[in-house]
């Protein structure tokens, strides 16, 4: 419990530092930041994050850092509503698209729907069971992306590439050039 609180404090400090850094950068005439400012801010943020993670790693808490971050990402407040919305739309989508899908595709989407049902059930009955949530999230990833039509209905501005993966807006990324230069993406 104490280690999780320490991870939470570290993540909160990183977020706070990011906010302070962006607030300290003056805006250009259009109200945005100059590309050089965005790049410098991105570098500062990454250096701060790496310093904090390195500090935690030196103390032998690397696994706790990752676990703490995953718990924050899987928190019911963040993930439940989108998971429930996809889950609620799946039955109608399956019914409407069954004639257009091959049997293997229909089965794959059916298994994916069952995975979403399990995730929603855990969020409703045992929302702090992070190991189970992580397991279920990994399970549904085996079936690929949810149907693009469902995601498009829930996020109309989202666009997809040829592989069905959501396109990320490079302008919204803290890394110059977007995902291509992001060390994680």
Q: Each residue's pLDDT tens digit in the chain (185 positions)? A: 555 566 566 666 655 555 555 555 555 555 555 555 556 556 666 666 666 666 666 665 666 666 777 788 888 888 899 899 999 999 999 999 999 999 999 999 999 999 999 999 999 999 999 999 999 999 999 998 888 888 888 877 767 666 656 666 555 444 444 444 444 44
pLDDT at residue 121, as a whole number: 97
| Beta-carbon-side half-sphere exposure of residue 106 (alpha carbons within 13 Å) | 11
pLDDT at residue 179, as a whole number: 44
Contact 83, 25 (CB under 8 A): no
Residues in Cβ contact with 177 at an 8 Å cutoff, skipping those fewer than 6 apart: 170
**CA 141 → CA 106, 116, 138, 144, 173, distances in Å?**
16, 11, 5, 5, 24
Rg of the chain taking only CA atoms, in angstroms: 20
pLDDT at residue 73, as a whole number: 80
pLDDT at residue 113, as a whole number: 96
Which element (helix H / strand E) includes 109? helix 103-125
Largest alpha-carbon pair distance within the chain? Answer: 57
Contact 184, 42 (CB under 8 A): no
């Amino acid at each position: 419990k104490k280690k999780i609180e320490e991870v939470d404090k570290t993540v909160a400090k990183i977020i706070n530092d990011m906010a302070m850094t962006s607030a300290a950068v003056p805006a250009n005439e259009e109200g945005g930041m100059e590309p050089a400012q965005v790049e410098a801010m991105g570098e500062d943020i990454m250096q701060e994050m790496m310093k904090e993670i390195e500090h935690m790693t030196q103390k032998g808490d690397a696994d706790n850092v990752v676990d703490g971050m995953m718990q924050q990402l899987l928190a019911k407040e963040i993930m439940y509503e989108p998971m429930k919305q996809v889950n609620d739309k799946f039955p109608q989508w399956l019914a409407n698209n069954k004639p257009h899908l091959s049997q293997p595709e229909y089965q794959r989407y059916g298994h994916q729907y069952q995975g979403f049902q399990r995730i929603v059930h855990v969020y409703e009955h045992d929302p702090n069971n992070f190991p189970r949530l992580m397991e279920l999230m990994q399970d549904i990833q085996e079936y690929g992306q949810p149907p693009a039509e469902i995601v498009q209905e829930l996020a109309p501005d989202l666009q997809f590439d040829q592989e069905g993966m959501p396109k990320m807006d490079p302008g919204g990324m803290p890394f110059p050039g977007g995902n291509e230069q992001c060390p994680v993406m």
